[in-house]
Every structure is written in structure tokens, then in C-alpha cells.
Chain A
């Protein structure tokens, strides 16, 4: 296993892997993973001449696990990424995200166009698409509602040997590791807080439809076997991207693309990162007085 370091930034301890030399790539995992998700990508990217930085996002892995819901707002987590990269002296990394990590990467990309080089989103499309989900996507996301009830969700998920959790996760991803990770003190609540802070019905009311455009060259990858996120989420993301946009569908992969199709993902990353030019930032018309 790659060695992890820890820094204290933005009020939380973040553990991260930092390997290789070259243009920096930041890899952001989702629920309920950690930097371990990227174990097949890290060596390939290092070999390909990149510096790879893969944090355990707050609430996961070896990083801090604040127990308040408010600690998990998207803005806060985007700030974690900003603070971590600044701490490591990285100005303009490529960002690659999966699941929640992809949502963070999208947000980072449109909030901080000058601090991102290329963007790769796996499984999860632009938040603008999720602002108006189809009823099919809502049905596929049923568990997000179920995760909303502090204490109650935890107890129901854990009950009888995590039976419900096992049924929700199936045998996907690193299913045989998740229980051990989530059994760490505070880990389950921390993980669910991501949903509570950002996927509650109340938060849906707060979503504004206008998103600044993504100027970075962006690549979206979706696995045809993904049961949680429907294709519309990724395929329709292009309209929020002003830079070059590419969409790739991988037939024999499910939600956990980095694990299900490591070779294809590596090939796509190596063939994409650093190859395109961003769109120019729009000049805001000066407001006349």
C-alpha cells in the first residue's frame, strides 16, 4: 500500500497519497471509498509522468470525521481540495473525480476555473443535470433519501449485520472492505452526512439553476452497468461545459469504474489529461452606471 501523509487544512486532518513527479493530478473518491479506490490508477499515472495526489476526503479513510452535518457542505469540501493543493504547492492540477468526488470536481471546476487544468468526471455528471432529475433518476437515488435521518439511518443500515447496507451496495466496488471502514468510530455518520448536507429535499430547494460554465476541457466517463446513476446525468453534462467536452461510455463496467475497468480508465486518463486547451474565460460586460 502506498504511504499516506496527513495535513491539517480547513479545520480537518486530511490523509493523502502523493506519488510521482510531473504535472499534478488530484484524484477524488466517492462514497464509501477512500484513496484506496485509485490503487490501479496511481501507478499508471505515475508511470505516465504525473504527480498524483489522492486524498481521503473528509469523513472517509484516515481523514478527520467531524460529526456535524454542516461540516459536509460541498463548498466546504471544495475548500478542502483547494487548501490541500495550496499546501502542497500545486496551482493548477488536473482533477479526476468519481461519485461524490466527481460532484466535487465539477463544482471546483466551475467555481475556480483558473485553478484547474483538465477535468475528468466518472459516473456522476454536472450538478446542473441533477437539479432537475428525471423520475427514473429519483427512483434510482432512493437510498439518498433513506440516508437523511440522523441516528435512524445508521441504526437501520447497521442492524443485523449490516444487512440493509449489504443489500444496497450489492457486491460492487470494494464491498468486502466497506464494512470495516465504516465500523471505524464516527465513519458511518460522517459518510451519510455527505448526503444529509447536499442531497436533502431542503437542499434541492436551495439549488439555483445558474451555474458558471466549465471552461476546462472535460471528459465524462460512465459505466453502462451503473445502477445508481443513469446515463442522462453524464450524457447531458456537455451543455454545462464551454471547453472541449468528451463523453465515453464503458460497456462492461458498473458504478465503480476505477475498479471495474481499470485499464480502460487508465487509457482514457492518459490519453486525455493535458491534451486540450480550455475555453477562454468570458469577459464580464462592464456594468454601466
Chain B
């Protein structure tokens, strides 16, 4: 006889593990299948927007973030080749949502581990090193997987697919994505960045890199680079790590970025094509609901994937805990809200990508003009709001073609 839990969650990342916490706390029987043997640094998102922190609080998992090493960042310095030294501003990020401070940088895998522990403490079963997962949808879906001790089968009432961009569950149940790629990205954890102010994050563009620095306290920081596809081999192979760090030798940074270039790697370097995926239909089918990146994601440049994963988790858990009806129709509010949200985020991310992840003299000139436009007309900064507050809280006009048109035409 196979085990018949209420819910099987495939993938124990931010989306899956947070859902497991909420559902187990709500009294459902939950099995989480995670492919890693132990949580390790996979180079995922580590910058959580204030609205994502609010989602985490609502899910009852906020403590896992802070205990796992979460660090509040307070200021955003606008270091960029298009910003003159005397125009560099410190943007205060602590006041976007009442009751919440600035965004948080955290070690992703440490937080996933704490969340999975919390889920287990609440009664969930966690199966690490789960391999070759297959999901057959239906009113009583079937999940089979391999363990070191042999194959296993589960027959839950519902499956949550939360395997991230790999879309392992989605592909098996016939949910297809429209993918697009604008640039490439890479990321690495560093330590020994003692010269960098711990309250300050930086995002900017110079030459052929768009750089991000998110401090995590105690001289540690998560670094991300975005760069044109033609450079996709630059940070790979022997010497890749050194070239990655050397890319932070930038005129726009204080001391030409010495605090970063002198830092020590503290995790793997990973380089990937930065893909956005929008599902071609609702991200669910009979007996299966997708959450997190697996349900579609905007370009990572916006830094909202984590917040979305948490929002998905909360919305879906509330439905599961609030009603006995788990048929696809019951998830209509989720599907609708998510579609609206992803549309906005995808739109905003494409604006940010075009503005900040395109390179060369024309792109620099455009960034200068956009800055001037924004200084003149505060409303033009609307896109900047999009990575601090929830998408539905950003004024409508920021998502009109008219706005984008204006932004790019007036600055072309």
C-alpha cells in the first residue's frame, strides 16, 4: 500500500519548504521530496524585497530567514557610469512598507534548511536525495521517486510542483512556458569584504557589466553580475572566479571597487542564461498546482523571484487550508492573481533589462537621459518601486506601453 498524505511537495526550495511549514502547521499531512542530499549553495536569489519579508511573516517562516543569517540592508548607493560622482545618492530603503525595514540579504540554502526543519518539527516528512520523480496528474495523483533504499510511491490528494526553473513537474503534466532571454548572469558568495559598508547595497552598470553587491553582514556579501550573451564564456573555466571578481574593478565604485576585488570567494561561482518564463496556460492541472519559479518567473534582474515564490506559497496554502475543494477551479483566485503579478513583473523586468543590462555608448547615453527624466518627473521612477513593494501596489500607469514608449522614446 502506498502512503497517502494530503500533500506532496516536489522541491524543497523557498517555495516548497515555506509551503510545507504552513501546511504542516495547519494540520495537513505533508511529504516534501527534495533532490539534494543536503542543502548547499546553488547560487539562487538572496535579496528579499520588503514585500517578500511581509509574505514570509504571513507564512510564519520569517524567523527562519533572520535566524539563517538574514541581514537588513538599508541604503542603495547609485554608483553607475552614468551617474557623476557628485550625483551619487544614497536611497533609503527602510521606509517602503510600514512595520518592515529595508530589504534582506540571506544565505539561501541555510534558510531552506531551517524552513525544512521547521516543517518537520510541525509534522511534515522530508525526503532528501529523492531522485527520478515522476508525477501522474489526476483526481488522486501518483508520485513515484527513487530513494537509496529503492523506489517509492505516494498517492496524495494534491501535488505542489516547486522544482524551480527546471520545471520537472510542470513538463510532466503538460504545462508549457514561453521563454525569452535578454542577457546572462553569474553569482558568487564572498567574505572578507571588510572595506564595504554593511548597510549599503549597490547596483549599477559600467563597461560591459551590470553589477550587484548585497552585503550579508560580517564582511560577507552576495555578488551578482549581469552581462551580454557574447561574454558568456568569460567567467567560466580556469581563472573564471578571478575574472568574476576582477569585473568589479570599476571606476564608478569607491576605490575602484577594491573592497570587492580583494574579497575571498566563499561559495561556488555559477553562470547562467537569464531566462524569463511565462506559462502558456494556468500553472495547474487536475491534482497538481505549480508554485515558485516552476509556475513562471520574470528576469532575475528585478530581484522579486523569492517574494513571488513566497506569495505563491501563501496564496495556495490559504486555499488548501481554507477549503475542502481542491479541484482546479478552487485555485482560480491564485491563477488570476499570479497572472496579473507576473505580467507586471515581466513588464518591469524588461524595462530594467533594457535600461541597465545593455551596454555601449548609446545605452549609457540612454541611462543618462532616463535619469534626467526621472529627476524632472518623479512619477517616472515608478519602475523602481517594483522591487520594493508588491506589484499590485505599484501605480497602474507604470505598466502601460505608453509609459515604456515614453521612457524609451524621450530618451532614445
Contact = CB atoms under 8 A, between A and B. Distances in A.
Interface string A159-203: 111110011001100001001100100000000000000000000
A130 to B, nearest CB: 29
A163 B101 contact: yes
26 contacts: A159-B101, A160-B94, A160-B100, A160-B101, A160-B102, A161-B65, A161-B66, A161-B70, A161-B71, A161-B72, A161-B101, A161-B104, A163-B71, A163-B72, A163-B101, A166-B71, A166-B217, A170-B218, A176-B67, A176-B69, A179-B63, A179-B66, A179-B67, A180-B67, A183-B63, A183-B67
A160 B72 contact: yes
Interface in B91-106: 94, 100-102, 104
Closest 7 CB pairs of A and B: A160-B101, A161-B66, A179-B67, A160-B72, A163-B72, A161-B70, A171-B218
Contacts of B66: 161-162, 179
A166 B102 CA distance: 16
A159 B102 CA distance: 11
Contacts of B71: 161, 163, 166
A181 B70 CA distance: 16
Given A161-B72, A163-B71, 10 more contacts: A161-B65, A161-B66, A161-B71, A161-B104, A162-B66, A163-B101, A167-B217, A176-B67, A180-B63, A183-B63
A159 B100 CA distance: 9
B82 to A, nearest CB: 31
Interface residues of B, number: 15
Contacts of B70: 161
Interface centre among B66, B71, B101, B218 (most CB of A within 10 A): B66
A176 B70 CA distance: 11
A171 B71 CA distance: 13
A171 B94 CA distance: 24
A156 to B, nearest CB: 12
Contacts of A161: 65-66, 70-72, 101, 104
Contacts of B63: 179-180, 183
Q: Would you call the interface of chain A mostly helix, strand, loop, or mixed? A: helix
Interface string B287-302: 0000000000000000
Interface string B64-80: 01110111100000000
A161 B218 CA distance: 15
Contacts of B104: 161
Contacts of B67: 176, 179-180, 183
A36 B358 CA distance: 53
Contacts of A167: 217
Contacts of A166: 71, 217
Contacts of B102: 160
Interface string A134-169: 000000000000000000000000011111001100
A71 to B, nearest CB: 26
A171 B220 CA distance: 11
A159 to B, nearest CB: 7
B330 to A, nearest CB: 34
Contacts of A176: 67, 69
B180 to A, nearest CB: 35
A161 B104 CA distance: 9
A170 B217 CA distance: 9
A155 to B, nearest CB: 12
A227 B197 CA distance: 21
A167 B199 CA distance: 12
Nearest to A183: B63
Contacts of A159: 101
A161 B69 CA distance: 9
Nearest to B218: A171
A161 B57 CA distance: 11
A237 B66 CA distance: 39
Nearest to A182: B67
B72 to A, nearest CB: 4
Contacts of A162: 66
Contacts of B72: 160-161, 163
Interface centre among A160, A170, A180 (most CB of B within 10 A): A160
Interface in B29-69: 63, 65-67, 69
A161 B103 CA distance: 10
B332 to A, nearest CB: 35
B402 to A, nearest CB: 38
A88 to B, nearest CB: 31
A163 B100 CA distance: 12
Nearest to B217: A166
B394 to A, nearest CB: 23
A72 B218 CA distance: 32
Contacts of B218: 170-171
A32 to B, nearest CB: 13
Contacts of A180: 63, 67
B38 to A, nearest CB: 16
Contacts of B100: 160
A176 B66 CA distance: 10
Nearest to B62: A161
Nearest to B102: A160
Interface string A250-270: 000000000000000000000
A161 B102 CA distance: 10
A183 B63 CA distance: 8
B119 to A, nearest CB: 15
Nearest to A165: B66
Contacts of A170: 218
B43 to A, nearest CB: 21
A227 to B, nearest CB: 14
Interface string B265-285: 000000000000000000000
Interface centre among B71, B94, B104 (most CB of A within 10 A): B71
Interface string B143-181: 000000000000000000000000000000000000000
Contacts of A160: 72, 94, 100-102
A52 to B, nearest CB: 28
A74 B196 CA distance: 42
Contacts of B217: 166-167
Interface centre among B63, B67, B101, B102 (most CB of A within 10 A): B67
Contacts of B65: 161
A92 B17 CA distance: 50
A171 B194 CA distance: 14
